[in-house]
Amino acid sequence: MTERDEGEHGRARDAGERRAVGPWLLGVRHHGPGSARAVGAALAQYEPKALLIEGPPEADALVALAADEEMRPPVALLAHVTDDPGRAAFWPMAEFSPEWVALRWALRRGVPVRFIDLPAAHSLAGAEPEEPSLAAPDPGPEEPSLASPGPEAGTGPEPGPAAGDARVDPIGVLAEAAGYDDAERWWEDVVEHRGTAASGDALAPFAALAEAMGALREEGQGGQDGQEGVEGGASRDAVREAHMRLRLREARREFGDDIAVVCGAWHVPALARRTTVTADRALLKGLPKAKVSVTWVPWTHRRLSRKSGYGAGIASPGWYGHLFSSPDRPIERWLTKVAGLLREEDYAVSTAHVIEAVRLAESLVAMRGRPLAGLTETEDAVRAVLSEGSDVPASLIHDRLVVGDVLGEVPQAAPAVPLQRDIARLQRTLRLKPEAKERELELDLRKETDAARSRLLHRLRLLDIPWGAPAHSRSSTGTFRETWRLRWEPELSVRVAEAGIWGTTVLAAATARAASDAADASALAEVTALAERCLLAELPDALPVVMRVLADRAALDADVGHLAQALPALVRSVRYGDVRGTDAAALREVAVGLAERVFVGLPPACASLDAEGAAEMRTHLDATQQAVGLLCSAEGDGAPEGDAGPSGDAPSGLRERWTAVLRVLAEREAIPGLIRGRAARILVDDGRLEDGGTREDGGTRGDGGAARLMGLALSPGVPPADAAAWIEGFVGGGAGGMLLVHDERLLALVDGWLTRVPGEAFTDVLPLLRRTFSQYEPGVRRTLGELVRRGPVVAGVPGGGTAVLGRGAAGGDEEAVAPGFGPGLDRDRAAAVLPTLHALLGEGADGKDTSTGEMR
C-alpha cells in the first residue's frame, strides 16, 4: 500500500451497472466452463474493439495461429528461454477456457488481440532453476513425484485462482465464507451452474465477482502489500498487475475505451485501480531479461488435470469440457455418456439404469441443497446405480471421462518446439552431425564425450526417435564399448515434433516418457527392460519411478515365472549401473526384493507340474541361479575383492537363502524330477551339497551329498520316467557330461540305474535319455562311452559311508581310491606333469617340452 491509492475498484462496478463504459474487465476462473460461457455472452453483447488477455505478450505474433483449421484445443502457449529450453512456462488453454473462447471470438470477428501479462522474458529470467533437471518440465502424466517443475515455471499461467498457494486462496476464502468445504464445489454452485441469462446483463456476474475479489484483496492486502514493501523487489503479482495496467493504458490510447480484458478474477480489482504510470513503470524497472521463444504446443486433458506436473489445477477437465459443450440437460447427457463407456467395457447397463441414476443424482441435489447436480452427485449416482457398488467402473469413468483422453493439435506452421532446438544444440556440442548416410560409430564409454553421445542416442531411442540403432560390436563385447549405426531419416523430424509434448529438453522429455511408459507397461519384463534403458540413457529422475512401478508390479505378480524372467535383466542393470558409476543402490534393493519373492514363490510353484511346465520352470531356475550369482558378486564389489561367499553380510544372506530354497526343491517329493535334478545339480556346482548341511543345518542332518540325492531319485521304487527326468535335470545341458566324466560315483549310479530299468519301461525312458546325452559334446560322449565300457571301479567312497556300486560289473579292486581314478598312483605319468606345473607357477622350471606335459 505504498504509493497507490487503493480501494478504488469502482470501474468494475460501474461496468456492471451501466452499459458500455469500457474497458470491461472480465474476471474469470481459468478453465472454468461457466466463466467461458459468461465471457462468450459478454463479448457477444458488448462487441469490444479490442481484446486483452492474460498471457505473455511475446505470443501476440502467434495469435493468428489459433484460428488455424488444424488448431485443436487443448493446446498451450509455451514460452522458453531460447538457449535453455529447460526453463519454460506454459499457458494451457482448453476448449472450455475463457481465454480460448475469447481468442476464437476475436479471431472470428477480426478484433485485435493483445496479451498483457508480464513478458515471459522477465518471468523466465527471474526463474533460477535450482536443479536443472527438475526445472525442466516433466509432464509425466501420472507421476506427481517426478513432476515438480521449477517454482516459477509452473505457476506461469497461474493455474486457476484457487491454486496459487503463495498468496491467499481467494476462491477458497469465499467458499469458506459461504460454508463450503470445497472451493471447487462452491465455484461450481455459484458461478458455473448459474446461467447468465437471468440478469440480462452479461457483465453482471463479472461485476459481482470483482466486488467479492475486491473485498477479499482488501482483507488480505495488509499482508500482501506489506510483503511487497518489505521484500523490496515487489511481489510477483504486483509486478504482473502493473504490467497489465500499462498494457491496458496503451490499448486504450490505441482503441478507445471499448476494450474487453479477460484475466483471472483475482487481478480485476488491481486492474481497475487508479495508479500513476510512473508508479507502475517503477515497479517494472530493472527486471532481469532473457531471450525467449514462444510457440504453441499440443496439450492433453490429462495434463490439465491436477495430478500432473503442469496441471492447470482442474481435477475434471473432461467433465468441464462436457459442461461447456453440451447444449442442455448436462446430467442426462453425462450419464448417457457414462453408460456408453460402461457398455463398451462390457458392463450390462440399461437405459433404466441411466434413468435411475439421473433420478438419484437429482434427489441428492435436493438433499444437499445445491442448485444443480455436479460431479459429486453424478459420481455418487454412478457408484450406487450403474456400477453396483464396485470401484472398478468408477475409476474407469474417472480416468476416461472425468479426466479424459483428449489430445490437442497444433498446425504445422507453429514455430519449432524447443526439444528440436535442444537436440540441435546437443548435436553441435557432441559433434554428431545428423546425416542421411548410414555410418557406424564406436563409443568408448570411459571417455566423457563418448558417454554423452551414448546417453543422447539412448535417450532419443526412448523417445521413439531411432536415429541410432545399437549394433553388435565387432571388436569387443565389453560393457565399456558400444557400437551404433547412425542414420538421420527425414521423418525423424516429425518424430521430434511429436516427442515435443514430453518436454522441452531431451533429458526431461526422455525422463517423462520413461515414467509414462513404466506406468503403461503391461508385463513385468517390460518394466525391467525399461529400467535397463533408463540406466543406459542415464535418467536418474526416471529411475525411481520405474523402480517403484517395478516393485509394485513384482509385489502383485503372482506368477513366479514372470518374476524369474524379470530378474536377469534387472541384475544386468545393477551391473551396468556399477560399470557406469551411477548409483544403482535403489536398483539393487529392488533386485534383491524380487529375488526374495522368487525364493518364496518358487517351491509351491514347482509342485505338480507337467513335463512342459517343468521344462519351463527349469529355465526360470537357471535364470534365477545366474541372477543370484551375479547379484552376490555385484554386492561383493562393495567389499574388498575376494570371495563374495561367506564374507559379505547381505549377499551371503541372499546366497544362503537361495541355497535353502534349492535344498527344498531338491528334496521335496511333489516336485517333478527334472527340477529336483536341476536343483541338486546347481547345489553340486556351487559346492553346497558335498559338505552337506554346513553351518546352519548343524552338520549331520541328511548329509545331502549328490550321490545320496541321486540314489534316492534313482531308487527302484521311483517310476523310470521320473528318474530319467531327474537325470536330465541333473546332468542335462552342455556341462553335465563333464560332471559324469569326473565323478564316477555318479556315473556308476546312472549306470546301475539304467541296467535296472525293466525292459518294457526302457523304451519309454529312452527318448529322454537320448535327449539328455545328445547335448554333450562328441568328445565327452566318447569319453563317457569309454568309461562305461571299461566298467566302473568299485570304491569305498570316503566321507559318505560305503557305497557298493556297480554290481554285476567287472570285479572290483581292493583299494579305496578317489572316484574317477584308477587304483594306485602311476608315478611315471604323474611326474610328467610336473614341468608344466612348474612353468605355470613360474618357478623357473626348465621349460623343456611343456606342450607335452599335459595329462594324456
Partner 1 sequence: MDCAMAENGAGSGRGTAAEAGRQDGEAVALRPHAEDAFAKELAALAAADDRPRPERWRLSPWAVATYLLGGTLADGTVITPKYVGPRRIVEVAVTTLATDRALLLLGVPGTAKTWVSEHLAAAVSGDSTLLVQGTAGTPEEAIRYGWNYARLLAHGPSRDALVPSPVMRAMAEGMTARVEELTRIPADVQDTLITILSEKTLPIPELGQEVQAVRGFNLIATANDRDRGVNELSSALRRRFNTVVLPLPATPDEEVDIVTRRVEQIGRSLDLPPAPDGMDEIRRVVTVFRELRDGLTTDGRTKLKSPSGTLSTAEAISVVTNGLALATHFGDGVLRPSDVAAGIQGAVVRDPAADRVVWQEYLESVVRERDGWKDFYRACREVSA
By CB under 8 A, name the binding residues for partner 1: 348, 350, 352-353, 356, 359-360, 363-364, 367-368, 376, 380-381, 383-385, 387-389, 551-552, 555-556, 558, 593, 596-597, 599-601, 604
Sign for the pseudo-dihedral over CA of 198, 204, 206, 212: negative
Shortest gap between Cβ of 376 and partner 1 (angstroms)?
A: 7
Cell matching residue 524 = 513385468
Cell matching residue 229 = 514493501
Instruction: Please identify, using beta-carbon distances, which residue of 83 and 552 lies nearer to partner 1.
Output: 552
> Which residues in 52-81 are b (16+ Cβ under 10 Å) and which e?
bbbbbbbbbebbebbebeebebbbbbbbbb
Which value, in Å, is the radius of gyration of the alpha carbons in the chain?
38
Shortest gap between Cβ of 589 and partner 1 (angstroms)?
A: 10
Shortest gap between Cβ of 330 and partner 1 (angstroms)?
A: 20
Instruction: Please identify, using beta-carbon distances, which residue of 375 and 414 lies nearer to partner 1.
Output: 375
d(CA 76, CA 68): 14
Cell matching residue 481 = 564399448
Sheet of strand 481-486: strand arrangement? 439-444, 481-486, 468-471
Shortest gap between Cβ of 350 and partner 1 (angstroms)?
A: 7
CA-based nearest residue to 429, from 445, 451, 453, 465:
453
Between the two ends of the chain, the Cα-to-Cα distance in Å is 102
Shortest gap between Cβ of 688 and partner 1 (angstroms)?
A: 21
Cβ of 583: how many Cβ atoms within 10 Å? Answer: 11
Shortest gap between Cβ of 348 and partner 1 (angstroms)?
A: 6
Shortest gap between Cβ of 629 and partner 1 (angstroms)?
A: 20
Shortest gap between Cβ of 631 and partner 1 (angstroms)?
A: 16
d(CA 804, CA 540): 62
Cell matching residue 661 = 530354497
Instruction: Please identify, using beta-carbon distances, which residue of 653 and 702 lies nearer to partner 1.
Output: 653
Element (H, E) at 498: helix 491-499
Instruction: Please identify, using beta-carbon distances, which residue of 341 and 660 lies nearer to partner 1.
Output: 660
Do strands 481-486 and 439-444 pair parallel, antiparallel, or not at all (unpaired)? Answer: antiparallel
Shortest gap between Cβ of 678 and partner 1 (angstroms)?
A: 21
Instruction: Please identify, using beta-carbon distances, which residue of 513 and 597 lies nearer to partner 1.
Output: 597
Shortest gap between Cβ of 335 and partner 1 (angstroms)?
A: 14
Shortest gap between Cβ of 599 and partner 1 (angstroms)?
A: 8
Instruction: Please identify, using beta-carbon distances, which residue of 227 and 376 lies nearer to partner 1.
Output: 376
Element (H, E) at 565: helix 560-580
Q: Is 761 helix (H, G, I), strand (E, B) or coil?
A: helix
Instruction: Please identify, using beta-carbon distances, which residue of 430 and 551 lies nearer to partner 1.
Output: 551
Amino acid at 592: V
CA 688, 690, 691: angle at the middle one, nearest 5? 80
Residues in the chain: 856
Shortest gap between Cβ of 694 and partner 1 (angstroms)?
A: 20
Shortest gap between Cβ of 826 and partner 1 (angstroms)?
A: 52
> Which residues in 407-430 are b (16+ Cβ under 10 Å) and which e?
ebebeeebbebbbbbbbeebbeeb
Instruction: Please identify, using beta-carbon distances, which residue of 195 and 604 lies nearer to partner 1.
Output: 604
Surface-to-core class of residue 29, CB atoms within 10 Å of its CB (0-12 exposed, 13-18 middle, 19+ buried):
buried
d(CA 62, CA 481): 47
Instruction: Please identify, using beta-carbon distances, which residue of 351 and 774 lies nearer to partner 1.
Output: 351
Instruction: Please identify, using beta-carbon distances, which residue of 10 and 604 lies nearer to partner 1.
Output: 604
Q: At what angle do helices 706-713 and 744-756 cross, to 10 degrees?
A: 10
Instruction: Please identify, using beta-carbon distances, which residue of 669 and 854 lies nearer to partner 1.
Output: 669
Instruction: Please identify, using beta-carbon distances, which residue of 301 and 553 lies nearer to partner 1.
Output: 553
Cell matching residue 837 = 606345473
Shortest gap between Cβ of 369 and partner 1 (angstroms)?
A: 8
CA-based nearest residue to 167, from 92, 128, 212, 219:
219
Instruction: Please identify, using beta-carbon distances, which residue of 103 and 358 lies nearer to partner 1.
Output: 358
CA-based nearest residue to 853, from 779, 838, 843:
838
| DSSP-assigned letters across all residues of 509-520 | HHHHHHHHHHHH
- DSSP code for 23: -
Within 8 A by CB and 6+ apart from 330, the residues are 322, 323
Instruction: Please identify, using beta-carbon distances, which residue of 79 and 360 lies nearer to partner 1.
Output: 360
